[in-house]
Amino acid sequence: MVCIRISDMGFSYDDKLFTLKDIDLNFCEAEVTTVLGPNGAGKTTLLKCLARILKPQKGTIYIDGRDLWKMSLYEAAKIIGYSEVEIPRGFNVKVLDFLSTSRYPHMRTFLESLEDIKAVKESLREVGAEKFSLRKIEQLSSGELQRIIIAKILAKKPKILLLDEPTLHLDIKYQIDILKKIREITKKHKLITIMTIHDLRLASMFSDKIILLKNGKIVSIGSPPEVLTPKNIEETYGIRVKVIKDTEAGVIVVPLP
């Protein structure tokens, strides 16, 4: 059981221009939320605030009623999984070594226990990456690396998944596979999943809730059909679209010439 409440949050990189402002949000367990919006809208900044990487100047983030910034780094690390990684070059790092690092918050022993290894294996299976688990991390293709980055979050078994463009560099099969998997895990383990995606189609297919963000402010929030209306999209992205509601495929947004 986990819930997040953000009240009146504001964040600025330079103390002048607010990248995020007046953010009031609630996230419930077993729900996938997607943050949509044009480049520079503040999507990644929002995720980083939730990941306890950026500290908001204004407002508070509560996780299960507790102030995120009053938790210790270590406590937050056990609950929250976020996707940012820089790949080191020349260190002879194997995929399994990288994934084992994400078990550190749970690892009481000096070396990894059988339980840690099991969690790593499970995460690899979930993203279908077992066959390149012994490869060097710098030799992976960008699609393979993307799956490993998601596996890294899953291996930690957090309660909150924060995914910045999880479908980046993936082909259509893996886009669908990964998002399906994320949705399934969210429901099964009652997690909170918050992600950013650029593809409105995929967002509508796999999200329970969509947040439309423009210039750091929330334009609209609700279920995909509620949020993805021609009016909202024109207001946020500045393009004219036609929205088709299909009984099987859900909401389809088609840009108009």
Partner 1 sequence: MDYAEKYFQEKKRKFFLVLAFLSVLLTFTFIFSLNIGSSNVGLLEILTLMSTSSKTSSTLINIVYNLRLPRTLAAMFIGVLLAISGVLIQSVTRNSLAEPFLLGLSSGALTFMALAIIIVPSIALSLHYVSVISFIGALIAFTLTLTLSEAIGGSATSLILAGLAVTAGFSGLSSFLAFIVQSKLNMPFLILLLGSLSQILRGHVVMLALVSIAGFTLALIMAKRLNAIIYGDEHALQLGYNPKTVRIFASMLAALLTSVSVAIAGIIGFIGLIVPHMSRLIIGSDNRYVVPLSALLGALVLCVSDIFVRIASEGLAIGEIPVGAVTSVLGAPFFAYLLLTKVKA
Residue choice 1, 14, 70, 86 for contact with partner 1 (CB under 8 A): 86
Residue choice 133, 190, 198, 243 for contact with partner 1 (CB under 8 A): 133
Report d(CA 241, CA 252) in Å as an integer. 10
The CB-of-204 to partner 1 minimum distance in angstroms stands at 29
Contact between 72 and partner 1 by CB under 8 A: the answer reads yes
Supply the DSSP string of 80-148, one letter for each residue.
Answer: EEE------SSS--BHHHHHHHTTGGG--SSSPPHHHHHHHHHHHHHTT-GGGTTSBGGGS-HHHHHHH
Structure tokens at 154: 């899953």
Determine the Cα angle at 194 with ends 83 and 48, to 5°: 50
Identity of the residue, 43 or 156, whose beta carbon is nearer to partner 1 in the bound complex: 156
Identity of the residue, 36 or 80, whose beta carbon is nearer to partner 1 in the bound complex: 80
Identity of the residue, 89 or 173, whose beta carbon is nearer to partner 1 in the bound complex: 89
Q: Which residues pair with 25 in a beta bridge?
A: 6
Gyration radius from the chain CA atoms = 19
The CB-of-90 to partner 1 minimum distance in angstroms stands at 3
Identity of the residue, 13 or 104, whose beta carbon is nearer to partner 1 in the bound complex: 104
Edge-first strand listing for the sheet containing 58-63: 18-27, 4-12, 58-63, 66-67
The CB-of-241 to partner 1 minimum distance in angstroms stands at 34
CB 233 within 8 A of CB 251: no
Dihedral sign computed on CA atoms, order 106, 109, 114, 120: positive
What is the footprint of partner 1 within residues 90-119 (CB under 8 A)? 90-94, 96-98, 100-102, 104-105, 107, 110-112, 114, 117
What is the footprint of partner 1 within residues 157-196 (CB under 8 A)? none
CB 134 within 8 A of CB 149: no
Structure tokens at 151: 């596996």
Residue choice 130, 171, 184, 226 for contact with partner 1 (CB under 8 A): 130
Binding residue count for partner 1, defined by CB under 8 A: 47
Q: What is the amino acid identity at position 128?
A: G
The CB-of-89 to partner 1 minimum distance in angstroms stands at 6
Contact between 77 and partner 1 by CB under 8 A: the answer reads yes
- Residues forming contacts to partner 1 in the complex (CB under 8 A) are 48, 51-53, 72-78, 80-82, 84-94, 96-98, 100-102, 104-105, 107, 110-112, 114, 117, 120-121, 124, 130, 133-134, 138, 156
